[in-house]
Amino acid sequence: MKTLLRLLVRLLFRFRAFNEAALRTPGPVLLIPNHTSWFDWLFLGVCLEDDWKFVTSSTTAKKSWLHKFVMVNDRTFPIDNASPYAVKHMAEFLLKGGKLVLFAEGRLSKTGTLMKLFDGTGFLIHKTHAKVITAYLRGASRLPYSPNPGWKRCFPTVTAHFSDALSAPHAEHLSTSQSRALFTRWLRDAMVGQQFRTEMDFGPATLPAAIAEAAADMPGKVILEDATLSALTYRKLLLGARLMGERIAAAGAASASSPSHIGVLLPNVNATPVVLLALWQQGKVPAVLNYSTGTATMLACIELAGLKQVVTSRTFLARAKLDAAPFEQAGVQLLYLEDLRKLITSWDKATAFLSTLFNFQLSTFNSQPSDTAVILFTSGSEGVPKGVELTHRNILANIRQMMAVTDLTDQDRLFNCLPLFHSFGLTVGLLVPLVRGMYCFIYPSPLHYRVIPSVLYDRDCTVLLSTNTFLNGYGRKAHTYDFRSMRYLFAAAEKLQEATAQTWSQRFGVRVLEGYGATECAPCLSVNTPLEPSYGSVGRFMPGVEWRLESVEGIGEAPPQPPPHQPTAPHSPNANPQTPDPRPQTPAVPTGRLFVRGPNIMKGYLNLDANAKFQAHGGWYDTGDIVSVDADGFVTIRGRLKRFAKISGEMVSLTAVEDALAGAFPHYGLRMATAVVTRPDEDKGEALICCTNEPRLTSAEIRDAIKSKGLSNLCVPREIVVVKEIPKLGTGKTNHRELQTMVQSKK
């Protein structure tokens, strides 16, 4: 019978199983799969020998004769879910050398991704020391009658991926309750990590291929909309990319040279993703320019990337008040969208439509996962912008990392007003929806504080990306009902202030989930989720991210470093993807300078000096941030190393001082802003300067705010400098470099 069923699922679902040899591991052993469809038992059963038993619910089996037939037989292990002895019976069976298949979620997933695991599984692992094999059923969530949102197909491709037999990291000093919680988290990390690695191994290898795969599943779905209310389905998106790619290629052929890097100078409109896909189709690398930095900085970035052509729009240049002359004088050919569109004939549209009618694959000129997909430029908040090369593999890895730890579905609707020249706005705000199949509304500016909440409300958006600065603006202008549909509110790019989180929680009933990353990391390194939140932290590291801390004099203590022959830090929960260790390694929370590496870390810098330093670390990226990582793996940002001042021999975090001042003066109104910079001081080494746009702020008020947060007197700024406005970057971050210049000019 098993042979017949296996042949049947092979014919209907093109079913294949990987690493089945692990299933021959002698008991006691637990097989823990994800649970997304009613037919999961079938895909697993055709791979298992008769000594395996499925844990089923005897209560559910009483619903009908069919339930009883499926759930109570010689291949099942029925338990009473309400009985306190259910786990004990399973433990007894395992201790006799048994093999159990246990759906640790306890229910079918409603999201298509891993939901919470019941900690009874952790108790079983603790008591029996059973080996654990995790299984990832890929594609089963698309079966009909599965309770997951999104598209369904009668016979989708389904594959089963089994891990090696894993041994949980037992520790004698832990209590039963501690072991239960830690082993449950260890198991979840193992399952999430397996999903991520499987998607990387078996999913599309390049961004155009991943987007085309999603388009083939739902070609008529409206996937993009912009402020002009122009909507694009997947079919229109790929059709436009094909047509635009041909026009750009023709313009390049007509020029003296056809470089591989082409600049993109466009706002958040539908044309921007069309251009990105068009360039990928032609085997070109888009270099997305940050128009908020000004012409001089953009020209420096153009020279750094070796750009000879830039795709832009006359309408955009006029609205942004950018002059084309400096670019043309620098020898840059501006390719205007208005001119390129005029070159597209009706015949071109007809032939392109026919070519995409049954074939959604974009020609990518044999693009490889290791090829550069996009060039982005760092914010330059503390120095000259760097050119960052992110490969297809880097960005896809980050997308799949986020999809593994969140329960985003096809039905979610994302609102993105973060600029696409920023990695957060590009990867999370645009490419995640395109690859996942989510509707995305892209808005040209995050500064329209009154308009954005209304648009988000009108479009019933469920996901919003923002920064602390912009969230404060929306909090002042929005109606309390504007965010009624919000499921996810992610904040990153700058420190989330306590006052901001409280405003959104109390006024709008929305929890802000803070994350952390960098352009060089494509960008996400860690994030809080509804399943694993920790307020004040930036969440846990993404699956596949390895990390280590280096000690910094005067700032906490890093944990002991591994011997030279060990490739990763032993304290990292993801140092060994097969057996992540959730146990704390030191009694104190380790703190130090964060280094990371993983599949989402950049290919390198365009800047020769910066790239040489990066390559010298052997794949490790120096974030320059001082962080602490607790025993559960939650990361807390203490500040950037450059944003620490040495006062009287002690290291003082400027970020901590800014956090203490943020929201401490409500009597001055919500528009008040503060930031902290330094100046040399002969007596104490450095002195803190508080910059504010509120002329009535006094030193006494600042001192009281600092003391109320439990900070020492060294954290009290020595001076107050009043400025008209705290300078900001296009991403919402404080421009400390410009602010420092402003303060120096006042001396």
The catalytic residues are 35
**Nearest 5°: phi and psi at 440?**
-135, 125
d(CA 719, CA 678): 10
CB count, 10 Å around CB of 536? 12
Q: Rounded to whole angstroms, how far apart are CA atoms 174 and 187?
A: 17
**DSSP letter (8 states) at residue 430:** I
- Cis peptide leading into residue 28 (ω within 30°): yes
Contact assessment for residue 559 and residue 588, using Cβ atoms and an 8 Å cutoff: no
CA–CA distances in Å: residue 615 to residues 265, 569, 604, 608, 612: 30, 19, 8, 10, 5
Instruction: Enumerate residues 6+ apart whose C-beta is below 8 A from 358.
Output: none
Tokens of 117: 């695991």
Integer-rounded Cα Rg, in Å, for the chain is 27
**Residue entry with tokens 């952390």:** 516
Tokens for 685? 């080494």
Residue with tokens 């906490």, as numbered in its chain: 556
Q: Which of 134, 277, 110, 121 is nearest to 196 (CA)?
A: 134
Contacts of 325 (CB under 8 A, 6+ apart): none
Residue pair 10/158 in contact (Cβ under 8 Å)? The answer is no
Burial 181-210 (b: 16+ CB within 10 A, else e): bbbbbbbbbbbbbbbbbbbbebebbbbbbb
> What's the burial of 680, exposed, middle or buried (CB within 10 Å: 0-12/13-18/19+)?
exposed
φ/ψ bin of 389: left (φ > 0), alpha (ψ from -120 to 50), beta (otherwise): beta
Closest CA to 226 of 459, 490, 453, 488: 459
* DSSP helix/strand/coil, 512: strand
Q: For residues 126 and 163, is the Cβ–Cβ distance under 8 A?
A: no
Q: Distance (Å, rounded) from C-alpha 746 to C-alpha 643? A: 21
CB neighbours (10 Å) of residue 507?
Answer: 12
- Mapped onto helix, strand or coil, the DSSP state of residue 315 is helix
CB 500 within 8 A of CB 512: yes
Between CA 476 and CA 454 the distance in angstroms is: 13
Long-range contacts of 505-510 (CB under 8 A, 24+ apart): 507/475, 507/480, 508/475, 508/478, 508/480, 508/482, 508/483, 509/483, 510/483, 510/486
Residue identified by tokens 């042949």 is 7
- Give the residues across from 636 on adjacent strands: 628
Non-local CB neighbours of 322 within 8 Å, separated by 6+ positions: 265, 291, 295, 316
